[in-house]
Amino acid sequence: MIEILIIFIVVFLIFLSSFFSAAEMAFVSLNRIMVRKKSNKGEKKAILIEKLLKKPGEVISAIVICNNLVNITASILAGVAATFIFGNIGVGIATLVMTFLVIVFGETIPKAYGIHNNKFALNVAKYLNFITIIFSPISRGLSTLSNIFLRFLGKEVGKKALISEEEIKIMLELGVQDGTIKKDEKHLVNEIFDFDETETKDVLIPIKNVFILNENDNLNQIKKRAIETGHSRFPVYKKNKKNIVGIAHVKDALLKDEKILVKEIMKSVLFVQQNMKADDVLRKMQSKKFHMAVVKSKNHKILGIVTLEDLIEEIFGEIVDEHDAT
């Protein structure tokens, strides 16, 4: 009778092992974008799983501890039951049977079920949270020991992105090969990544190629320049072209007396450094509502200008409008 009870307990423990293995795989392969969307909608399960995703090491440690505990306990009980039934050879039989059961039903099948199973991960969030709280002191201790050991081996310890830029590019290439992603979509994403590394000096228009107005020019000069070039904005200098003091917009000159001087309608100018990242310049221009910025060197020498259109073209390619040369 005792043997039957032990067997039932072993079966239950194998089921728990299966649960923990599936939960572990579901957690590590969880779609974070999906979780964030559901969390923003106020879904309680998503809010809880998002909290757990902030401490993945503790969650995984808790799952591994639980999984090992049930597997060890199941193996011991299986050995006891097998000894009752088969005598001295029972331990050997129990070892073989338990190895098979743990590998197939405690690892392989549940992990195949759990991978990318977002629904399952959300449904077991409260259980993962519970065991994480219970085993938190042990998990943190193991995490600390692991970090010490990794540092000893020369491994850098710290937060690491779940997926790198290079891995995304590889996924894009595979997507193009199997037809799920278009070539122009892949190109656009690659351009966005490259844009992050582009410096302002790489996209600027040299100052020698820029039409510049004197602050004492009259508004008629702006209109003439606009007609000649098709441009709507012009840098304005004071005394010499190395001293840019503002930006003049042709629309501010259209309804005013042509005898008015440029300095009376010019707006402030945004200066940026030549080594500033292009994406940082774009964000700065957007936040301050500038369409043009003047680029300076480290010693404050005027190098050129960069426009909102130039920056956008770095991502999307050449934008041809009605004023561009044909």
Q: What one-letter code names the amino acid at 289?
A: K
| 129-180 residue pLDDT tens | 999 999 888 877 777 777 787 777 776 655 555 556 676 777 778 778 888 7
Examine residue 170 and state whether it is found in any structural domain, yes or no: yes
Taking the chain, what is the end-to-end CA distance rounded to the nearest angstrom? 93
Report residue 303 as tokens: 């190098």
Examine residue 36 and state whether it is found in any structural domain, yes or no: yes
Range(s) of the domain holding residue 101: 2-152
The larger pLDDT score, comparing residue 166 to residue 256, is at 256
| 132 and 8 belong to one structural domain | yes
| Tokens 């005394």 sit on residue | 239
| 189 and 205 belong to one structural domain | no
- Average pLDDT over the chain reads 86
Q: Which of 118-127, 174-183, 199-208, 287-296 has the lowest mean pLDDT?
A: 174-183
Residue 268: pLDDT band with limits 50, 70, 90? very high
| 215 and 169 belong to one structural domain | no
| 38 and 11 belong to one structural domain | yes
What's the structural domain count of the chain?
Answer: 3
Query: What are the angstrom distances between the C-alpha of 15 and each of 18, 77, 267?
Result: 5, 15, 72
| Tokens 């004023």 sit on residue | 323
Query: What are the angstrom distances between the C-alpha of 147 and each of 24, 63, 152, 159?
Result: 21, 19, 9, 12
Question: What's the 3-state SS for 147-183?
Answer: HHHHHHCCCCCCCCCCCCHHHHHHHHHHHHHCCCCCH
| 174 and 258 belong to one structural domain | no
Examine residue 57 and state whether it is found in any structural domain, yes or no: yes
| 206 and 189 belong to one structural domain | no
Examine residue 158 and state whether it is found in any structural domain, yes or no: no
Q: Residue 17's CB: how many other CB atoms inside 10 A?
A: 24
| 174 and 227 belong to one structural domain | no
| 147 and 180 belong to one structural domain | no
Query: What are the angstrom distances between the C-alpha of 300 and each of 107, 242, 295, 296?
Result: 64, 10, 9, 5
Do residues 302 and 244 make contact, with C-beta atoms less than 8 angstroms apart?
yes
Specify which of 80-94, 116-130, 243-257 reaches the highest per-range mean pLDDT: 116-130
pLDDT, position 158? 55
250: domain CATH number is 3.10.580.10
| 23 and 133 belong to one structural domain | yes
Q: Which of 38-47, 138-147, 204-213, 303-312 has the lowest mean pLDDT?
A: 138-147
Report residue 239 as tokens: 């005394």
Examine residue 285 and state whether it is found in any structural domain, yes or no: yes
| 139 and 240 belong to one structural domain | no
| 33 and 137 belong to one structural domain | yes
Query: What are the angstrom distances between the C-alpha of 279 and each of 169, 198, 283?
Result: 19, 8, 6
| 226 and 268 belong to one structural domain | yes
Tell me the CB-side half-sphere exposure of residue 71, using CA atoms within 13 A.
Answer: 23
Q: Point out the domain boundary residue: 152, 177, 211.
A: 152
